[in-house]
Structure 1
Amino acid sequence: MKLLNLIKNDPWLEPYSNVIERRYQQATDKEKDLIRGAETLSDFATGYLYFGLHKSSDGWVIREWAPNATEIYLIGTFSEWKEKAIYRFKKLKNGIWEIKLKSNEIKHLDLYKLSMHWNGGQGERIPAWATRVVQDEKSYIFSAQVWNPEKKYIFKKKKFTPKISPLLIYECHIGMAQEEERVGTYDEFRRNVLPRIAADGYNAIQIMAIQEHPYYGSFGYHVSSFFAPSSRFGTPEDLKHLIDDAHNLGIAVIMDIVHSHAVKNEVEGLGRFDGSYDQFFYGDHRREHPAWDSLCFDYGKNEVIHFLLSNCKYWLEEFKFDGFRFDGVTSMLYYNHGLGKAFCNYNDYYDGGQDENAITYLTLANKLIHEINPNAITIAEEMSGMPGLAVKIEDGGIGFDYRMAMGIPDFWIKTIKEKKDEDWKPTAIFWEVTNRRSDEKTINYAESHDQALVGDKTIIFRLIDDQMYWHMMKNDINYAVDRGIALHKMIRLITLSTINGGYLNFMGNEFGHPEWIDFPREGNGWSYKYARRQWSLVDRKDLKYSYLGKFDADMISLIKNEHNFEKSLIDKLWDNDGDQILAFKRKDLIFVFNFHPNKSFTDYGILAPKGEYKTILNTDSPEYGGYGLIDESIPHFTNFDPLYKKDKKEWLKLYIPARSAMVLRLIRPTKSGKK
């Protein structure tokens, strides 16, 4: 076999070349095994067009895969929830069951389930391929629903190509995107939140909790119905309208997809769909996830791969999603789910503890997604650092476009919690935000929804804490608040300005949304108080939240308007841990940070390419809640030093206030570097 580029680009991987090449070959062989008569992987992944409920020319047809079943009946509002001969399924080959009905035997909005029989038992089940599942408001019972509206949504934007250089993601949750203490809707999000995101400059949204889940408080990660958009937020047509409007605003829509595990529920989910324990999931000790109270898919089964690949294609084709952020990839990659393992050396990725069936599935999923839509975006949420995750398949990788830089938010939490301000080291900060494999694109982020959940704290709440309740009026002078606002801006700027792929922010965190996220549950009296976003805080011009909102928008605008910014070289110009100063260059921009809590510097020298510079962004500006100590109208000229003539660099002398950052743009090079 020809040496794969993944190994060529990293000689340290050569001792593991046999494993890497075997994984590549396994994915190739599995694809051939799956498609057989089909021409492409996309032709194979069409299960959603065959299984589930469909309107036919002369009535209805519903099919399900249930190899352990002995009898299946369709029950629902049309049968008074009783088994009737007219609604009895017929068994086909390979464990497939089918029923054909006349047009008048079921209708739009009818509720239905399967009455599943197996040797030794019977139970009600929601069809595995159901595309619409609703919950009764009084009994809280979930049922599938016939969905065949007269007016189906027709996309206005027929073709959409994301402009994502760089990729700037606004992570969001539909239900908690409104200010009232209740569950928000797709329609409200489309009308009220999308315009905010567009105005803030983000070019992608990553929507959580789309796949139906029985427990709202799971944040959407305990999925029961993989093909059903959650009805608690509205109808499938509402979701399509949201995505269409996002595309018209130039915003790509990424789905937070969960293929790493499934809810244990048996009535609502796939737990024992046909009465067996191993239809979709492992049948041995690997069946239950030890940390998540959920079930683990058996990626070695062709039927499971077919189900999951068809799920990817369904969301791309039917709803026009632009890609996926795959949740819990670390859990998929390792038999121990990455729990209790430090991942200190390369052997940890190739020691036999990896689920190579899962690796094959992820490789095929990425190939399929990009086969369907070459412009699709795939992101891996993965913390172990497995090499090749975001490397092209043909180069020996798994094929994701990006991987989440999960170490960065952990670093910021640890720094804020454990270090005094005077101990923040620019060298350590710079290393953390730039520490990545050169052949893989990453998504930098200071915090996501994970850092905002109850039991944890957002960055702003760690910095300011309860002072936020009393001192966020603009005319209120408070040291803790001023410190928090200053560091909040600096943390975000350095995290964004060092990207090599993209950047992510969770909704509301850009303006320092107070407190945590806590979904309604028994422990809080089923309250929605902390499962919402208080947009009025950033809208009020008398509150300091507007400072942070304004800064975030201007910061995003600056980076967004630098074409291919994420691909540009990061040239570190200066660092000094004693002074807590850091400066680096990208394209014609110089980023300067002073993390010192109380020491400002006058005429501080930084070696930079010679020329004239102008300040274009300054965290200390009064419009961002700063003290206004920098005169942005003053141009800066470098000063010649013969020692650095060969390097074509000169001294750039700056006034750098304590706890501030600025961005300078090279206006024009100068011959002498002097006025």
Structure 2
Amino acid sequence: MEKHRVILDTSLLTDHDIYLFKEGRHYRLYEKFGSHPGEVAGEAGTHFAVWAPNAARVCVFGDFNHWNPEAHPLAERPDGSGVFEGFLTGVGAGTRYKYRIVPGDGGAVSDRGDPFAFHWELSPRTASVVWDLSHDWQDGAWMEARGKSDSLAGAMSVYEMHLGSWRRPGDDPERLLSYRELAELLPPYLQQTGFTHVEFLPVMEHPFYGSWGYQCLGFFAPSSRYGTPQDFMALVETLHQAGIGVILDWVPSHFPSDAHGLAGFDGTHLYEHADPRQGFHPDWKSEIFNYGRNEVRAFLISSAFFWLDRFHGDGLRVDAVASMLYLDYSRKEGEWIPNRYGGRENIEAIEFLRSLNQAIYGEFPGAETIAEESTAWPMVSRPLYVGGLGFGMKWNMGWMHDTLDYFAQDPIHRKHHHGQFTFSLWYAFNENFVLPLSHDEVVHGKRSLLDRMPGEGGQKFANLRLLFGYMWGHPGKKLLFMGGEFAQGREWNHDQSLDWHLLEIAPHHGVQRWIEDLNAFYRRTPALYELDFSPQGFQWIDFRDEQNSVLSWLRRDREGRELLVVLNATPVPRSNYRIGVPRAGFWGEALNSDGTEYGGSGWGNLGGVESTPVPDHGFYDSLSLSLPPLSVLFLTAPD
């Protein structure tokens, strides 16, 4: 008997699956499409299924048949779905394979990877790999607690990182750490620094390492550069056991045109639009998904489900949402096609995003979707029933730009830019905002956060500590890219490890200590996170003192407990600075960015200040504070 035979087996992919797929409502296609090891009629093998509706012939070939592209044709289903399938005996996990696709119109024959592959060869090789995703998960306590939590009212301090350049082995700086090695190093570091979540730049398989994962082709596979799918599961599991959530960067906005990928998959524009005015992205030189096609929507939402389901992700950060929403995004007049009403809005993409969010929140309790959306599109993080897009949160790009522009100013000029410091509070509660200082802010000549700060020596570090204190005191969840927590001095380079040796230098170690203490205080102080998205959680005390570049405000929790935040954005220390407060009594100085342990001068208020019955700022009582130079103070209210 021939060792490798193709058996037509329809037990895995049913007529109902095909119906839902064609309707665009099958969100677990990864259970049916791709390659699945199993058994039919007592014979072990693998079931293959691929969508190629315009192909005349599809064959699977690989290790098992000496890469003979014509030896094992798959059968086309007779239902008109365009799905080719078959059970290939004698093929098991670990087998490399591709599909030979012969277009029906006589076009060029091509060899493709599997769009649903769970594992891929190590780049630059491009074959898919049959894989069994079985794993005995040990994070049940985390998943159960997550499902009962209110993420929007919880603490969220996110450490954004790129797996390949966070740390490299000291004896081989060219080698990437594996998922398993990262599982040993990363959780204790995040526990030490106090972050609640980690966000990985896209781990999905991508052919070009230098794209940082944003040019993805393996929408159902973690990159083999760092190990197997089970190795990545172990990393997520270990993080959960350490009490750390995992957010995955996910890119449904575009994909690269590599010959083994999705572009022109069956000889036609199957996943992408045919017209380059709709299907080609000028910024990234990549293809744009056709969101109006039911099967493509099912493919993408299945990918989102896959990372939350099979890899226990706690959230998805959806990349480049603005590029999806606008038909004229980054295009000149004549380079785009209006929608059916003559407008610039991408109606199909809007419907896709709403379906995506509705499906995720219906299936994965406690998980979040977070939009990177850089425009003023309304109600991105509002529910569908009020007309929103349905995301849980949105990156506050306006806050990021204004804040970094402000901090780039020499302190002597900051009084002329005071509005940039305060403007974000005019719209802070329009969306559920995340405050991002991400990877995009420390590349392409923008310089590191430390290097962007004005001044020399200690003033740069003081400004950076002030920036972080302002960020942690401001309404909104927090996100900081790796290296920022210890004041990395140079721009991020994806081919190098972070400069960990800087922690041996006192000012850098002081910034890390500041981040540790900020995160620890943040996590134990509900006033800093419970009402992040409600105006009831924030009250200005004084935002008008532009002459001194001083800001002061209150944060409140659900019980009404208050926290006072005061910033001095100049290097001038200010004695006897009066701040009105709503309660009489002793206000404890919980954090002071000018503390000597952080590399500051040690100026402060000796642990706190007793209020006096001197009215100010609309309150009956006030504090006479010492404001250190370039500093932020956090003071807790009397009990």
Question: TM-score range, shorter-chain basis?
Answer: 0.7 to 0.9
Could you tell me which runs of 5 or more consecutive residues in structure 1 were left unpaired when the two chains were aligned. Answer: 1-33, 342-349, 465-478, 520-527, 669-675
Aligned-pair CA distance for 1:643: 7.6
Letter in 1 for 2:444: V
Q: What are the residue-to-residue correspondences of 1:472-483 with 2, within 5 Å?
A: 480-483=456-459
Which residue of the partner structure matches residue 573 of structure 1? Answer: 541
TM-score of the pair, normalised by structure 2 = 0.87
Cα offset for 1:184?
A: 2.4
Once the two structures are superposed, residues 406-459 of structure 1 have per-residue CA deviations (whole angstroms, 9 ceiling, x without a partner) of 122222332344x321122484244244243534210013x2100112322121
Q: How big is each residue's C-alpha offset from its partner over 1:322-374, in whole Å with a ceiling of 9 and x where there is no partner?
A: 12000000000000125689xxxxxxxx9820101001000010011111112
Q: Per-residue deviation at 1:623?
A: 0.1
Tell whether the 8 Å contact from 2:201 to 2:248 is kept in structure 1 after alignment.
yes
Question: Corresponding residue for 2:510?
Answer: 547
Partner of 1:48: 30
Residue 445 of structure 2 is matched in structure 1 by 455
SS at 2:402 equivalent: helix
Corresponding position: 1:174 with 2:163: yes
Residue pair 1:547, 1:624 contacting (<8 A) in 2 also: yes
Name stretches of at least 5 consecutive residues in structure 2 with no aligned partner: 1-15, 334-340, 557-561
Letter in 1 for 2:635: L
Inter-partner Cα distance in structure 2 for 1:338 and 1:375: 35
> Equivalents in 1 of 2:74, 2:18: separation in Å?
29
Q: Please state how far the C-alpha of 1:52 moved relative to its aligned partner.
A: 0.3
Secondary structure (helix, strand or coil) at the match of 2:221 reads strand
Provide the aligned length of Structure 1 versus Structure 2: 585
Quote the offset at 1:141 in angstroms.
2.2
- Determine which of 597, 600, 613 is the counterpart of 2:573: 600
Q: Deviation string for 1:172-213 (max 9, x for gaps)?
A: 111112134332221122111221112211111111121111
* 1:229-628 matched pairs, under 5 angstroms: 229-267=222-260, 269-337=261-329, 352-417=343-408, 419-425=409-415, 427-436=418-427, 438-445=429-436, 447-463=437-453, 480-500=456-476, 502-519=477-494, 528=495, 531-538=496-503, 540=504, 542-563=505-526, 565-566=528-529, 567=531, 569-575=537-543, 576-587=545-556, 588-597=562-571, 599-609=572-582, 610-628=584-602
1:532-579 Cα deviation digits (max 9, x unpaired):
2233432x3x43211000000101111111226330522111231111
Query: How far has the Cα of 1:303 moved from its partner?
Result: 0.6
Q: What is the identity percentage for the equivalent residue pairs of Structure 1 and Structure 2?
A: 26
Q: Does 2:39 align with 1:57?
A: yes
Match of 1:637 among 595, 610, 629: 610
CA spacing shift, 1:368–1:657, aligned 2, 3 Å: same
8 Å Cα contact 2:483/2:498 also seen in 1: yes
Query: How far apart are 1:395 and its partner, in Å?
Result: 1.7
More displaced 10-residue stretch of structure 1: 181-190 or 355-364: 181-190
For the 8 Å contact 2:585–2:610, the answer to whether it is kept is yes
Q: Does the CA-based 8 Å contact 1:62-1:98 persist in structure 2?
A: yes
Report the alpha carbon displacement of residue 223 of structure 1 after superposing the two structures with TM.
Answer: 0.8
Going from structure 1 to structure 2, the CA distance change for 1:594 and 1:437 (only over 3 Å counts) comes to closer
Check conservation: 1:211, 1:223, Cα contact below 8 A: yes
**Paired residues of 2:195 and 2:244 also in contact (CA < 8 A):** yes
- Contact kept, 8 Å, 1:167 with 1:203, in 2: the verdict is yes
Give the corresponding residue for 1:89: 74
> In structure 2, how many angstroms separate the alpha carbons of the residues matched to 1:564 and 1:364?
34
> Could you tell me how far apart the structure 1 residues matched to 2:160 and 2:253 are?
19
Matches within 5 A, 1:193-204: 193-204=186-197
Distance in 1, matches of 2:384 and 2:25, equals: 20
RMSD (CA atoms): 2.5
Deviations along 1:276-327, one digit per CA (max 9) or x if unpaired, are: 1244434452111011111001100001111011111111111111120000
Indicate the SS of the match to 1:354.
Answer: coil
Alignment of 1:111-260 (within 5 A): 111-118=96-103, 119-135=106-122, 140-148=124-132, 152-158=134-140, 159-162=143-146, 164=151, 165-180=154-169, 181-182=173-174, 183-260=176-253
Letter of the 1:90 partner, please give it.
A
CA 1:35–1:359 in 2, change beyond 3 Å: closer, same or farther?
farther
**What is the match of residue 10 of structure 2?**
none
3-state DSSP of counterpart to 2:472 = helix
Paired residue secondary structure (1:332): helix
CA 1:636–1:339 in structure 2 vs 1: closer, same or farther (change >3 Å)?
A: farther
d(CA) in 1 for partners of 2:525, 2:212: 35
Instruction: Give the conservation status (yes or no) of the 8 Å contact 2:271–2:289.
Output: no
Counterpart Cα distance in 2 of 1:37 and 1:437: 44
One-letter identity of the residue aligned with 1:582: L
1:666–1:299 CA distance, 2 compared to 1 (3 A): same
**Mapped partners of 2:127, 2:17: distance in 1:** 33
Change in 2 beyond 3 A, CA 1:226/1:36: closer
Paired residue type of 2:263: G
- In 2, Cα distance between the equivalents of 1:380 and 1:38? 27
- Relative to the length of structure 1, the TM-score reads 0.82
Contact between 1:74 and 1:115, CA under 8 Å: does it hold in 2? yes
Please give the alpha-carbon distance, in whole angstroms, between the structure 1 residues aligned to 2:256 and 2:239.
30
> CA offsets per residue over residues 591-639 of structure 1, 9 Å max, x none?
1111122x22211111112322111100111000001122423x41222
CA distance in 1, matches of 2:615, 2:200: 55
